[in-house]
């Protein structure tokens, strides 16, 4: 459907004239150039619960385990004449990313004084959906960055976080740098920067619950009791000390305690076996996605024989029938991604889009 635009009646409203004749007709404003954006993912949470903010108000918060890959790439192509609220997206089911792009267009146009144009957003990448690796936030963040790039901007982390929460109601802190933070995911704000970097970790990843996707927003939000607040305050303090002291063993105990608490909602049937397996193979602990199926057995790479223990963990997972996904390092200054993400069916490379 097209909408006709009335043509001015030049006989009644003649163009203004100058000393050199008729005034030049201004050229129509061109849309911004195409832009690109990229965003990482994460490997679930090290800590998630309810915490007091600086004003003493309880709010949901989390600390994620970052991973550089897989990630999402977004390409935004503005279209001349496309209304700002019209953004097509490929794949078509990425509605949160499309919503984020529309919101970002409005912000970027206002900041630059340029016209707000709709367009087409294309997403590619290998972040698995529904496993608790931040796939929707990765899509949203890449979309916002692509729109900002089209307008020649780099939006600050605070603005990006607010856009992400508006687009998807709750957001992971993927827009921030590598510093570990306690992040209020439903409000898009940092409750605390815990330190400069997580202690180095060697993570053996796996999938619980058969890798079935989890609808994060469909999970109930529990009411926090006074006991809950005390419990999570203790874990927050211990995690802060683990980061400050670069203590992988203490971090592992915090992550394990948080994961056990999450079992009240998640009820993964393999959790007890994974917990026992982690102790048996000399791990410092385990972590799970509190809103998905991904999990990791945590080893301290500074302890001699860590690689052998990680391999023993992988074999033990196979013996328990728990799907192994990847082994990677995190934290410290030299964290590196694994080469791909393995599910029970196949190896997903970081450029494979068919997971979506």
**pLDDT tens by residue, 248-262:** 999 999 999 999 999
Query: Global pTM?
Result: 0.83
The pLDDT confidence band at residue 290, using thresholds 50, 70 and 90, is confident
Which pLDDT does position 34 carry in this prediction? 95
What mean pLDDT comes out for the span 154-159?
95
Which pLDDT does position 177 carry in this prediction? 78
Which pLDDT does position 223 carry in this prediction? 78
Which pLDDT does position 304 carry in this prediction? 96
Q: Are 48 and 258 in contact (CB under 8 A)?
A: yes
The pLDDT confidence band at residue 178, using thresholds 50, 70 and 90, is confident
Q: Which residues contact 182 (CB under 8 A, 6 or more apart)?
A: 47, 51, 61, 62, 63, 190, 191, 192, 194, 236
Measured from the Cβ of residue 356, the count of other Cβ atoms closer than 10 Å reads 17
Peptide bond into 139 cis (omega under 30): no
The pLDDT confidence band at residue 80, using thresholds 50, 70 and 90, is confident
What mean pLDDT comes out for the span 49-65?
96
Which pLDDT does position 119 carry in this prediction? 96
Residue 164 confidence (pLDDT) above 70: yes
What mean pLDDT comes out for the span 158-164?
96
**pLDDT tens by residue, 215-257:** 656 666 667 899 999 999 999 999 999 999 999 999 999 999 9
The pLDDT confidence band at residue 341, using thresholds 50, 70 and 90, is very low
Measured from the Cβ of residue 210, the count of other Cβ atoms closer than 10 Å reads 13
Of residues 173, 176, 180, the one with CA closest to residue 200: 180
Average pLDDT of the chain to the nearest whole number = 85
Which pLDDT does position 50 carry in this prediction? 96
237 CB burial (10 A radius; 0-12, 13-18, 19+): exposed
Percent of the chain with pLDDT over 90: 71
Residue 328 confidence (pLDDT) above 90: yes
**pLDDT tens by residue, 3-55:** 333 323 333 333 334 343 444 444 445 667 899 999 999 999 999 999 999 99
Which pLDDT does position 129 carry in this prediction? 87
CB-based burial, 108-126: b 16+ in 10 Å, e otherwise: bbeeeebbbbbbbbbbbbb
């Amino acid at each position: 459907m097209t909408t006709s635009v009335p043509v001015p009646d030049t006989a009644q409203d003649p163009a203004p004239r100058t000393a050199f004749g008729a005034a030049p007709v201004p050229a129509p404003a061109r849309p911004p150039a195409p832009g690109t954006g990229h965003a990482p993912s994460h490997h679930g949470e090290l800590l998630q619960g309810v915490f007091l903010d600086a004003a003493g108000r309880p709010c949901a918060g989390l600390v994620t385990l970052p991973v550089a890959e897989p990630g999402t790439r977004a390409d935004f192509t503005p279209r001349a004449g496309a209304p700002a609220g019209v953004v097509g997206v490929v794949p078509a089911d990425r509605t949160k990313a499309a919503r984020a792009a529309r919101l970002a267009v409005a912000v970027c146009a206002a900041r630059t004084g340029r016209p707000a144009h709709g367009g087409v957003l294309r997403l590619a990448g290998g972040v698995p959906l529904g496993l608790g690796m931040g796939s929707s936030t990765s899509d949203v963040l890449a979309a916002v960055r692509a729109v900002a790039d089209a307008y020649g901007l780099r939006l600050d982390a605070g603005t990006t976080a607010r856009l992400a929460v508006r687009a998807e109601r709750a957001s992971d802190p993927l827009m921030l740098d590598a510093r570990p933070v306690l992040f209020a995911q439903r409000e898009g704000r940092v409750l605390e920067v815990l330190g400069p970097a997580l202690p180095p970790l060697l993570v053996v990843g796996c999938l619980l619950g058969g890798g079935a996707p989890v609808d994060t927003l469909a999970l109930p939000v529990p009411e926090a009791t006074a006991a809950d607040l005390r419990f999570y305050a203790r874990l927050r303090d211990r995690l802060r000390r683990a980061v400050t002291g670069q203590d992988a063993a203490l971090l592992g105990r915090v992550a394990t305690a948080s994961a056990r608490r999450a079992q009240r909602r998640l009820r993964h049937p393999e959790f007890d076996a994974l917990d026992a397996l982690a102790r048996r193979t000399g791990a410092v602990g385990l972590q799970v996605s509190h809103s998905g199926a991904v999990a990791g057995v945590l080893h301290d790479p500074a302890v001699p024989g860590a690689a052998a223990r990680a391999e023993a963990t992988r074999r033990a997972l196979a013996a328990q029938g728990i799907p192994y996904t990847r082994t990677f390092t995190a934290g410290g200054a030299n964290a590196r991604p694994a080469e791909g993400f393995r599910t029970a069916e196949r190896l997903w490379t970081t450029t494979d889009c068919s997971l979506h």
